[in-house]
Structure 1
Amino acid sequence: MEKTLSLNDQAKAARLAANELIGLSTLEKNKALQEMADALEHRQKLILSENKIDLANGRNKNLSSAMLDRLMLNEERIHQITNGLRQIAALPDPIGSGLMEMKRPNGLDIRAVRVPLGVIGIIYEARPNVTADVAGLCIKSGNAVLLRGGSEAINTNKIISSILATAASSAGMPEGAIQFIESTDRGAITELLHLRKYIDVIIPRGGSSLIKYVVENSTVPVIETGAGICHAFVDKSADKEMAADIIVNAKTSRPAVCNTIETLLVHQDIAKDFIPFIVAKLAACNVELRGCERTRAIYPDMAEATEDDWSTEYHDLILSIKVVDDINAAIKHINTYGTKHSEVIITNEYTSAQLFQQKIDASAVYVNASTRFTDGFEFGFGAEIGISTQKLHARGPMGLNALTTMKYLINGNGQVR
């Protein structure tokens, strides 16, 4: 019987794998990615069987329909996962690419090139596609990865990670390059956060409570991702039909993901006309609505929004609505309650669009388009390891380049200082 490695030993093995990955060619990494995609396709029935177990357990735990949707896999979603791996293989390899080059007056040649971060630990919740996306991005960017998924998807994640690790190893990747932490105990997260000797960065993907815990307890550097209290602001000049299409898409297409909107802000000049119009559209999609006092004066049947609603990521078909005086009030509200993820203004005024994009503090700021586009695939990155909401190292959808750092290469001919 194969012995289960301790978390410390897993991290140590990842460090050894990272030391080997850095020397692999683009051709070798792309071959591994193609074989990883093929392996998932060939073992699709087994993956779906394990996913059914997780879905049944989720229903028994009364997970919301939105959370079950995040957890659920089908043939189409597995095809999307494998297509994502193949797209990563087709992308340019960032490793070794030049960032700058100069020759100093003393004759030193100085270059800066991209290199892998090393070992990445990722903590995520009930989204099995993350397992494959992250593994693929890490292999292509020359990083080893430790995956710690949520208990809701434990069976699905275990089988996907096992298939990927076996395929990668068969294709020549070092043992330990892709590893899954099977323990669902929270203590495993705490231990992971203190393995600074082996791990270079921790990336949490999930709700605000998970991210807060990781940031406050990790001795390993952290890149914050995922928490998404996103807003749509309907300006006084907005096209009503366009606004409705964007709002319905941004709220209902996948309500449990981080780039869905949680609050709708409406300019007071159009509120009396627009609010009944959008309420009818959202009601048809079974969205529960909560409104401020001014909103409820227009539509009294709506539930009252509390102060907590403005800072809540619902992960569900729930939307809060607030009437604001003008664009400046909308910007103030967003910068107060937003999580620096994705925000949108619907407007026909160029100056309003410019002001909104200039003043809003977020990683992605849209004019007349759904926030649901904040995604590595939609941005042309093949996949993403997360949406960074911080400002250091990486921001927004994190593709291959975000999983690299830089190294200076200096060539001389005997210079001394």
Structure 2
Amino acid sequence: MSAQTQMQALDVAKYMQELGKQARVASREIARADTMQKNAALLAMADAIENERPALVEANQRDLDRARATGMDAAMLDRLTLTEARIDSMLEGLRQVAALADPVGEMTDFRYRPSGIQIGKMRVPLGVVGIIYESRPNVTVEAASLCLKSGNAAILRGGSEAIEANRALAGCIAKGLEAAGLDQNIIQIVETTDREAVGHLITMAEYVDVIVPRGGKGLIERISRDARVPVIKHLDGICHVYIDDDADLDKAERIAVNAKTHRYGTCNTMETLLVAQSVAASILPRLQQAYAPFEVELRGCEKTCELLTGITLATEADWSTEYLAPILSIKIVSGLDEAIEHINTFSSQHTDSIISENYTKARRFLREVDSASVMVNASTRFADGFEYGLGAEIGISTDKIHARGPVGLEGLTSQKYVVLGDGHIRA
């Protein structure tokens, strides 16, 4: 390692330590802030973003120009693009989070013990949340809003490809905090694009309480492997839709088309379609025709290839692939049992849906499919914090401890025991 490289590494380490120290101090301020002050900051952030629309679009355009020059693929470019509609969504998200009930300080489950004391629980912030994400600049605002409302400080490390837009958004967030009289270090954006910053962030256990990675499988695997801080994560979004024997085929067509084509580059997009043998001949030709205008490449099992012409034979690898592209794998199954078995074998435990008018089968699917979100007669694209009424989400968790599914305000808090006595002593 050259002297210059060593100096750069030391500078990054020092910079990240300083962010950590500032976040820890700021976390104490935001933890005691009242709901009105937090809501005022969120609404002021929305006003700042509205006022800075042209500058945000211009900054994002610089990111897009650089990304295209480096050969970024279409799915990643879509994630990176900050459209007017996505700015509107950010503003609505901020205002929705401001309107949500504040979970901090909520006390529940009080009960008397034989000793006479009362035992209950109080909801409290996690402390300092480190968020590492790629491409999507809207995540900066979503993460900031949820961390702020849930009483946490945040260190946000966006991808280098979105650095211009993230810096512009950071300015809007800072204006919102300042307008509400809050410490601007409550939400900090990592300004360096040096990859070493991530390595420091995920090992600063003295300053960071939890890490939330949002990005590709490689990034999340690396963070899960190397972090010395608890991680809330999901690795893949291998989502399924199963069209049952008792499905309404008009509903099935609408849902299967939406689940695949609404957006390709999201983790809640359907990647595998399962179809019951008894309805395959009726629904699959309709779906092939419906997917044609979207130029979706179909990869089917042997039975599917016998039924449809001009499609590719699926390989074993297709069942466990998150395409994030206009590609769909299709498998004809004997019925509900085989569908559940396939999902529990190949699913990433993110989101899976059944299309059926049979209540008993739907209940079995909900009970037996082991995923964070399980749906009946609905598109997998609904697996989203905004759609679930959380205001926004900081990520999707496929873990089974603490938070599972879209992680909103409650997922960014914990609970501590509260004991109420009146001079009680233990006998």
Report the equivalent of 2:280.
271
Q: Which residue does the alignment assign to 1:14?
A: 23
Question: Match of 1:22, SS?
Answer: helix
Letter paired with 1:24: A
In structure 2, what is the equivalent of residue 67 of structure 1? 76
| Residue number in structure 1 paired with 2:408 | 399
Q: Following TM superposition, by how much is the alpha carbon of 1:228 offset from its aligned partner in structure 2, in angstroms? A: 0.8
Contact 2:167 2:191 in 1 (8 A): yes
TM-score w.r.t. the length of structure 1 is: 0.96
Residue aligned with 1:142, SS? coil
The one of 322, 327, 348 aligned to 2:357: 348
Deviation at residue 169 of structure 1 after TM alignment: 2.8
> In 1, distance between residues paired with 2:150 and 2:284?
47
Which runs of no fewer than 5 residues in structure 2 stay unpaired? 1-10
Q: Equivalents in 2 of 1:113, 1:141: separation in Å?
A: 13
Cα deviation for residue 123 of structure 1 reads 1.0
Q: In the alignment, residue 368 of structure 1 is paired with which amino acid?
A: N
Q: Which structure dedicates a bigger proportion of its chain to helix?
A: 2
Q: What corresponds to 1:203 in structure 2?
A: 212
What secondary structure does 1:225 align onto? coil
1:107-151 CA-to-partner distances (Å, cap 9, x unmatched) read 323331111000001111111111001101111111000111112
What's the counterpart of residue 238 of structure 1?
Answer: 247
Instruction: Identify the range of structure 1 (250-259 vs 164-173) with the bigger mean alpha-carbon deviation.
Output: 164-173
Match runs of 1:281-320 below 5 Å: 281-320=290-329
| Residues in 1 aligned to 2:44 and 2:190: alpha-carbon distance in whole angstroms | 23
- Contact conserved, 1:100 with 1:113, CA < 8 A, in 2? no
Q: Distance in 2 between matches of 1:244 and 1:63?
A: 32
1:290-321 CA-partner distances (Å, limit 9, x unpaired): 11222112124211211211111111111111
The residue aligned with 2:146 is 137
2:258 is matched with: 249
Contact 2:44–2:175, Cα closer than 8 Å, also in 1: no
2:111 paired with 1:94 = no
**C-alpha distance in 2, partners of 1:116/1:197?**
16
What SS does the aligned partner of 1:270 have?
helix
Q: Which amino acid aligns with 1:380?
A: G
Contact kept? 2:253, 2:283, Cα under 8 Å:
no
CA contact (8 A) 2:80 2:137 kept: yes
Match of 1:151 among 160, 181, 184: 160
Contact 2:221 2:235 in 1 (8 A): no
State the TM-score, normalized to the length of structure 2.
0.94
Structure 1 position 217 matched with structure 2 position 190: no
Range with bigger deviation, 275-284 or 58-67: 58-67
Contact 1:133-1:384 within 8 A present in 2 as well: yes
Cα distance in 1, alignment partners of residues 138 and 365 from structure 2: 33
Alignment correspondent of 2:193:
184
Alpha-carbon contact 1:120-1:143 (below 8 Å) kept: yes
Distance 2:254 2:193 in 1: 40
Match of 2:425 in 1: 416
What residue is the counterpart of 2:370 in the other structure? 361
- 1:51 paired residue number: 60
Do 1:15 and 1:119's aligned partners in 2 also have CA atoms closer than 8 Å? yes
Any stretches of 5+ residues in structure 1 without a counterpart?
none
Match of 1:113 in 2: 122
- Aligned residue pair count: 415
> Does structure 2 retain, via aligned residues, the 8 Å contact 1:226–1:386?
no
Tell me by how many angstroms 1:226 deviates. 6.2
Task: State the alpha-carbon separation in 1 of the partners of residues 67 and 408 from structure 2.
Answer: 30
Deviates more, 1:61-70 or 1:232-241: 61-70
Amino acid at match of 1:6: Y
Amino acid at match of 2:156: L
User: Secondary structure of 2:184's partner?
Assistant: coil
CA distance in structure 1 between the aligned counterparts of 2:370 and 2:363, rounded to whole angstroms: 13
